[in-house]
Chains A and B, each alone.
Chain A
Amino acid sequence: MHSISRRGLLKTGAAAGVLAATGMPVRAAQRGGTFKLGLAGANTSDSWDGRTHSDSYMIVTAHGCVFDCLTEVNANGELVGELAESWEASADAKTWTFKLRQGVTFHNGKPFGADDVIESLQMHTAEGAKSAAKPIVSAITEMKKLGEHEVQFTLAAGNADFPFLMSDYHILMYPAGMIEEAIAKGIGTGLYKVDSFDPGVRTLMSRVDSHYKDGKAGWFDSVEVIAINDSSARMNALMTGQIDAANRVDFKLENLLKANPNINIFEVTGNQHYTFPMLTNLSPFDNLKVRQALKFAINREEMVEKVLLGHGAVGNDHPIGPANQYYAADLPQNDYDPDKAAALIKEAGLDGLQVDLSSSDAAFSGAVDAAQLYQASAKAAGIDINVVQEPADGYWSNVWLKKPWVACYWSGRATEDWMFSTAYETGVPWNDTKWENARFQELLLLARAELDQAKRRDMYTEMQALISSEGGTVVPMYANYVDAHSTKITNGGATIGNLWQLDSSRIIERWWMA
């Protein structure tokens, strides 16, 4: 399996270099201490119901701490077993058999087994339940308990990524028969059990006595996760040593943090990307030349510099990022080329181009600025972009998917197929460009059921190239996950996961007291 992306390697290489250069002794992992983590993305309405998790606070505490999934993506991007020990597929990738780890118990003492897996998955398709993982689970047509520690899934259609999907942060394992209680109290199989949980305020957790990850993860004795949504308050708390790590560094405070010798900023480029999707069923975006012209009329470097203040990487008009397995890093880059854009407009048989671009900071922070930068760079190509500032409230229901050309963001998906089938497959509700392409659709289905990795790589590369050159989305940039930690904690200079913020949301498991 492809392990480290090019960019990821560069990033972590640089991070290791910095550590080495500062001459900081890297202490080997050992148990002890209380870890205090300050997080944005907390809500009074938070609960231990994995189906509803969407923001960092609950993802870090539930997925990265209290609960386990069947599989886990490690810091290098490889898929490893979490509650599953091993898995194998039939040749058509339709039937998957998972062998479960033995001797695992929930925090209330109940042993973990096949029933728990089946019931935990059924939660997502239960009547009236709303789960973000419903599309994943509803693809399973049959779940069979082969033994106490063996489950077999039959899928409606072959899916080579199925084990990958089982690492999704919504699909947590709850104890069968007491799921309501487990959600009320936070009873999982994770390294830390819940001592107290005050939604939108704080969570206190302590290490379980023995765990199957002993010796590999879970170094802190106890953990306190504090909800600090205000970014200045979060950075202050880090500066004054009240917390040991914080997510979402405020770029404006970056220099202040850097000046503090006790604080390190760590950032990774993952799959999170910002987009400008156009509805390709509407004029003028139904014209391929127009779409291509717009892709050459944007100055991506400038946007990364000015909107992300350098904390990102240029995008290439497709949604697959460095944290994906089959990220095509060597695809020809769509560059800023106003002459080419102007020529394409002419080829399209148009005399100049006038388009509206709807934007709001609800799409992503700095989206209005980004739209204005776009306007300025497109002017050189004779394209007149009229930036329409939309109200942030109701942006996702009234503007996105409704107005012809808008600003949008995607946190990305762990697998190519998942990303494509969420927003690029013909006819899916979130296909925000209404783009339809027969070859793409064909490849999507072929690659989904293909178990041969080399073949999949070729197919996914072709699909990325297709979207990049013909698709309806302009992807100006990938936004880094930028977090900060105090030198009181360390991960020994290991690779930092880039699937999500804070070491793929597993900072609590993977780090220790320096």
Chain B
Amino acid sequence: MNSVLRILVQRIGLGILTLFIVSIVIFGSVNLLPGDFAQAILGQGATDEAVAAIREQIGLTKPFWVRYFDWLGALVTGDLGVSYSQLMFAANMGGDQLIPITTQIAPRFYNTMFLAGLTAMIAVPFSLFLGVLAALYRGSVFDRGANIFTLSSISSPEFFLAYILILFLAVQGQWLPSLASVKPDMPLGERVYTTLLPALTLTLVVTAHMMRMTRAAIINLLASPYIEMARLKGISPMRVVVKHALPNALAPIINVIALNLAYLITGVVVVEVVFAYPGIGNLFVDAVRTRDIPMVQICCLIFAAAYILLNLTADVLSILSNPRLRHPK
């Protein structure tokens, strides 16, 4: 157990370091983009005076490292900051009722997590099931069919998959709504129904990876002597796979699942835009368009943190699932 603890501490430390580096990279690259918030928000109305006035109001006149360290300092104390658009709005109003990023992002974050969760609930069992079956009947028509299906769906761009699903399930079939416009007060059933189409799209995107890893890991084990032993004992093929092979194949599978779950949180941008789903992805696109750096930063940090946390979870789980790692000599 000690080793798990040590790894946890180590990884969390590294994770924080990674987040720090990510924040520098994001800050730097948003600064490299042509145009800033003032120019983006003013569009055609970007006269020199107007741009200067907005820059003054939101503090864009300071050099960028000063802004970065101001922002970082606030972040360390748990203050996610205020988006530029809110700062400008408040300056325009002459008041000081600032809506912090936390308030803006919370409902969006919940929506994105809901979509990711729903997708995971469909995609993980589905791909494990497909993977086990494909391993069991490897080389069969089913195996090949499943491979072709999942590989072609992972190779297509997400928006294409989304439109295909919309075409069949929403336009021609009229079974599912093409617009995933969830409301905060929706009952769960309706919410699931509304979110189903984007969830299915994401399922198609992530299934291939998980399914093929499951299949490969199991097939790999099927050649090992203890499986042969089990077969010789006369256990049914299904039982061999599920009871004997799968537990030992879990470590790589968990890793892949974690990677894909992270993708579900970070890779939803396109899907959210196509379905007009009010999640972080949509917020992120808005923020990049207007060069709203504080908002972009927080979105990116959430994405990065999701990756780091899920990878950490995967590592810990794979240690726990492997007795040799659990009890090192």
Binding site for B on A (CB under 8 A): 38, 43-45, 47, 49, 51-52, 54, 126-130, 132, 180, 183-184, 198, 200-202, 226-230, 232-234, 236-237, 239-243, 391, 393-394, 396-398, 400, 408-409, 429-430
Decide yes or no whether B43 CB sits under 8 A from chain A: yes
Known: A45-B89, A396-B42. A236 touches B171 (CB 8 A): yes
Partner among B39, B57, B287 whose Cβ is within 8 Å of the Cβ of A397: B39
Contact B92 A130 (CB under 8 A): yes
By a CB distance below 8 angstroms, the chain B residues around A180 are: 93, 95, 97
Contact A49 B174 (CB under 8 A): no
By a CB distance below 8 angstroms, the chain A residues around B53 are: 130
Decide yes or no whether B25 CB sits under 8 A from chain A: no
Min CB distance A154 to B, Å, is: 26
Partner among B45, B93, B177, B183 whose Cβ is within 8 Å of the Cβ of A242: B177
Known: A233-B274, A394-B34, A397-B35. A128 touches B91 (CB 8 A): yes
Decide yes or no whether B282 CB sits under 8 A from chain A: yes
By a CB distance below 8 angstroms, the chain B residues around A47 are: 89
By a CB distance below 8 angstroms, the chain B residues around A226 are: 179, 181, 276
Decide yes or no whether B131 CB sits under 8 A from chain A: no
Question: Restricting to B143-192, which residues have a CB under 8 Å from any CB of A?
Answer: 163, 166, 170-171, 174, 177-179, 181, 183
Q: Which residue on chain B has the smallest CB distance to residue A400?
A: B44
Other than the known A202-B181, A236-B166, what 5 A-B pairs have Cβ atoms closer than 8 Å?
Answer: A226-B181, A226-B276, A236-B179, A242-B179, A397-B46
Contact A201 B166 (CB under 8 A): no
- 11 A-B pairs (CB sep. < 8 Å): A38-B179, A45-B286, A127-B94, A128-B94, A130-B53, A130-B92, A180-B95, A229-B276, A232-B163, A232-B274, A240-B177
CB-CB nearest 5 A-B residue pairs: A45-B85, A394-B35, A393-B34, A236-B178, A237-B179
By a CB distance below 8 angstroms, the chain A residues around B275 are: 233
Question: Given the complex of chains A and B, what is the CA–CA distance between A396 and B50 in angstroms?
Answer: 13
Residue among A49, A130, A227, A394 facing the most chain B CB atoms (10 A cut-off): A130
Decide yes or no whether B223 CB sits under 8 A from chain A: no
Q: Which residue on chain B has the smallest CB distance to residue A410?
A: B44
By a CB distance below 8 angstroms, the chain B residues around A240 are: 166, 170-171, 174, 177-179
Contact B273 A129 (CB under 8 A): no
- What secondary structure prevails in chain A residues at the interface with B? loop
Decide yes or no whether B316 CB sits under 8 A from chain A: no
Decide yes or no whether B283 CB sits under 8 A from chain A: yes
Min CB distance B92 to A, Å, is: 5
Question: Given the complex of chains A and B, what is the CA–CA distance between A397 and B52 in angstroms?
Answer: 12
Known: A232-B274, A240-B177, A396-B43. A44 touches B283 (CB 8 A): yes
By a CB distance below 8 angstroms, the chain B residues around A51 are: 92
Contact A397 B51 (CB under 8 A): yes
Decide yes or no whether B33 CB sits under 8 A from chain A: yes
Question: Given the complex of chains A and B, what is the CA–CA distance between A301 and B286 in angstroms?
Answer: 36
Contact B97 A184 (CB under 8 A): yes
Question: Restricting to B76-98, which residues have a CB under 8 Å from any CB of A?
Answer: 83, 85-86, 88-89, 91-95, 97
Decide yes or no whether B290 CB sits under 8 A from chain A: yes
Contact B92 A129 (CB under 8 A): yes
Decide yes or no whether B104 CB sits under 8 A from chain A: yes
Decide yes or no whether B10 CB sits under 8 A from chain A: no
Min CB distance A360 to B, Å, is: 11
Question: Given the complex of chains A and B, what is the CA–CA distance between A49 and B41 in angstroms?
Answer: 15
By a CB distance below 8 angstroms, the chain A residues around B34 are: 391, 393-394, 398
Known: A45-B89, A130-B53, A236-B170. A243 touches B179 (CB 8 A): yes
Contact A43 B290 (CB under 8 A): yes
Q: Which residue on chain B has the smallest CB distance to residue A363?
A: B44
Partner among A128, A183, A393 whose Cβ is within 8 Å of the Cβ of B33: A393
By a CB distance below 8 angstroms, the chain A residues around B83 are: 45
Q: Which residue on chain A has the smallest CB distance to residue B40?
A: A393
Question: Restricting to B86-120, which residues have a CB under 8 Å from any CB of A?
Answer: 86, 88-89, 91-95, 97, 104, 107
Contact A200 B286 (CB under 8 A): yes
Decide yes or no whether B294 CB sits under 8 A from chain A: no
Partner among B44, B178, B273 whose Cβ is within 8 Å of the Cβ of A229: B273
Question: Given the complex of chains A and B, what is the CA–CA distance between A98 and B83 in angstroms?
Answer: 41
Q: Which residue on chain A has the smallest CB distance to residue B276?
A: A228
The proximity string for B residues 269-292 relative to A, scoring 1 for CB distances below 8 Å and 0 otherwise, is 000011110100011001100101
Min CB distance B191 to A, Å, is: 15
Contact A183 B35 (CB under 8 A): no
By a CB distance below 8 angstroms, the chain B residues around A243 are: 179
Contact B89 A49 (CB under 8 A): yes
Contact B93 A49 (CB under 8 A): yes
Contact A49 B92 (CB under 8 A): yes
By a CB distance below 8 angstroms, the chain B residues around A233 are: 178-179, 273-276
Q: Which residue on chain B has the smallest CB distance to residue A127?
A: B94
Question: Given the complex of chains A and B, what is the CA–CA distance between A11 and B276 in angstroms?
Answer: 33
Question: Given the complex of chains A and B, what is the CA–CA distance between A45 and B34 in angstroms?
Answer: 21
Question: Given the complex of chains A and B, what is the CA–CA distance between A37 and B309 in angstroms?
Answer: 40
By a CB distance below 8 angstroms, the chain A residues around B282 are: 200
Min CB distance B42 to A, Å, is: 7
Q: Which residue on chain A has the smallest CB distance to residue B46?
A: A397
By a CB distance below 8 angstroms, the chain A residues around B93 are: 49, 180, 183
Contact A43 B286 (CB under 8 A): yes
Contact B39 A396 (CB under 8 A): yes
Contact A44 B276 (CB under 8 A): no
Min CB distance B290 to A, Å, is: 7
By a CB distance below 8 angstroms, the chain A residues around B276 are: 226-230, 233-234, 237
